[in-house]
């Protein structure tokens, strides 16, 4: 509902687009989504040693309506899956998802009926962070990769919501990770 909604399609306002993109790149606001042991590493990412405020992530938001990045850290049970999707749906567009850890990305060592075998079955994932648990330095690198690759090329103008819906539909229709395991399944 801001300036990016008022810009007509086809108008080259590169300075406005560059300013809006720069502001959003430099101040990502993550939603609190710590589900298991990877959340401890995510918490240390915000502590003094790694200091997430140096890269603009001052506060983890408790309300999804004030956040634009969801960091899913830890295993997701089938009971928690609708809650995760509800929180994702409440986040304003544009929004991004980082899957932190092996359990969030592919179910990890929990190959059973209670754990979702990859968060990409529930929400579209932009960055996968491997490890059990991944270190805070890896999360910092993932935020920089997200900043450089995805946020820089975000669409502005009246077709912004249409592009976001198409990207989400394509991500949810992609081949799930459990069918890509090959001989490990």
Give the annotated binding-site residues: 37-38, 103, 132
Q: How many helices (H) and strands (E) does the chain have?
A: 7, 4
Q: How many angstroms separate the CA atoms of 26 and 140, rounded? A: 13
Surface-to-core class of residue 10, CB atoms within 10 Å of its CB (0-12 exposed, 13-18 middle, 19+ buried): exposed
Instruction: Please provide the size of the chain in residues.
Output: 185
Q: How many angstroms separate the CA atoms of 104 and 102, rounded? A: 6
**Which residues, listed in sequence order, are joined to residue 31 by a DSSP beta bridge?**
61, 70
Going by the annotation, the residues of the binding site for [4Fe-4S] cluster are 37-38, 103, 132
Beta carbons of 68 and 96 less than 8 angstroms apart: yes
As given in the structure block, the two tokens for residue 80 are 């928690």
In the DSSP assignment, the letter for residue 61 is B
As given in the structure block, the two tokens for residue 35 are 């589900």
Beta carbons of 91 and 31 less than 8 angstroms apart: yes
């Amino acid at each position: 509902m801001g300036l990016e909604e008022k810009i007509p399609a086809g108008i080259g306002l590169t300075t406005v687009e560059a300013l809006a993109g720069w502001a959003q790149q430099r101040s990502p606001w993550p939603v609190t989504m710590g589900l298991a042991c990877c959340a401890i590493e995510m918490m240390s990412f915000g502590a003094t040693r790694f200091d997430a405020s140096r890269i603009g992530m001052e506060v983890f938001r408790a309300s999804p309506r004030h956040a634009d990045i969801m960091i899913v850290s830890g295993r997701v049970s089938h009971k928690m899956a609708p809650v995760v999707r509800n929180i994702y749906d409440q986040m304003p567009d544009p929004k991004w998802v980082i899957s932190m850890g092996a359990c969030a990305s592919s179910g990890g060592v929990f190959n059973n009926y209670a754990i979702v075998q990859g968060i990409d079955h529930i929400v579209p994932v932009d960055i996968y962070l491997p490890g059990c648990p991944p270190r805070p330095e890896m999360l910092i690198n993932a935020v920089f990769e997200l900043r450089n690759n995805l946020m820089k090329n975000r669409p502005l103008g009246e077709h912004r919501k249409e592009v976001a819906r198409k990207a989400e539909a394509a991500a949810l229709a992609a081949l799930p990770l459990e069918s890509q395991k090959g001989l490990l399944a």
